[in-house]
Copies of this chain bind each other. A is one copy, B any other.
Amino acid sequence: MQMARTAGSHSDITGPRVRDAALRLFARDGYAAVSMRRIAGEVGVQAGALYNYTPDKQTLLFDLMRDHLIELLAAQPQDTGDAVAELERFVRFHIGFHHDRPDAVFIAYMELRNLEPDNFAAIEALRRQYEDRLEAILRRGAQTGVFAVPDPKIATLAVIAMLTGVNTWFRAGGRLRLDEVQDIYWDMVRRSVGSAPDR
Residues of A in contact with B (beta carbons under 8 Å apart): 28-30, 32-33, 110, 113-114, 150-151, 154-155, 157-162, 164-165, 168-169, 176, 181, 184-185, 187-189, 191-194
Q: How far does the alpha carbon of A115 sit from the alpha carbon of B194 in the complex, in Å?
A: 41
Q: How far does the alpha carbon of A108 sit from the alpha carbon of B43 in the complex, in Å?
A: 32
Whether B158 and A162, one on each chain, are in contact in the complex, defined by CB atoms closer than 8 angstroms, is yes
Residue from B28, B110, B162, B192 in contact with A191 in the complex, judged by beta carbons closer than 8 Å:
B192
Residue from B28, B161, B188 in contact with A165 in the complex, judged by beta carbons closer than 8 Å:
B161
Chain B: minimal CB distance from A7 (Å): 40
The A contact surface, by secondary structure, is helix
Chain B: minimal CB distance from A131 (Å): 10
Whether B155 and A188, one on each chain, are in contact in the complex, defined by CB atoms closer than 8 angstroms, is yes
Contact (A161, B150) CB under 8 Å given A33-B32, A192-B191, A194-B191: no
Chain B: minimal CB distance from A168 (Å): 7
Whether B30 and A113, one on each chain, are in contact in the complex, defined by CB atoms closer than 8 angstroms, is yes
A158 contacts which chain B residues (CB < 8 A)? 162, 165, 185, 188
Q: How far does the alpha carbon of A91 sit from the alpha carbon of B158 in the complex, in Å?
A: 13
Closest 10 CB pairs of A and B: A161-B165, A32-B32, A192-B192, A162-B162, A32-B33, A188-B192, A191-B191, A158-B162, A191-B192, A161-B162
Chain B: minimal CB distance from A121 (Å): 16
A188 contacts which chain B residues (CB < 8 A)? 155, 158, 192-193
A150 contacts which chain B residues (CB < 8 A)? 184, 187
Q: How far does the alpha carbon of A188 sit from the alpha carbon of B191 in the complex, in Å?
A: 8
Chain B: minimal CB distance from A169 (Å): 6
Contact (A113, B165) CB under 8 Å given A151-B184, A158-B185, A187-B150: no
Chain B: minimal CB distance from A96 (Å): 16
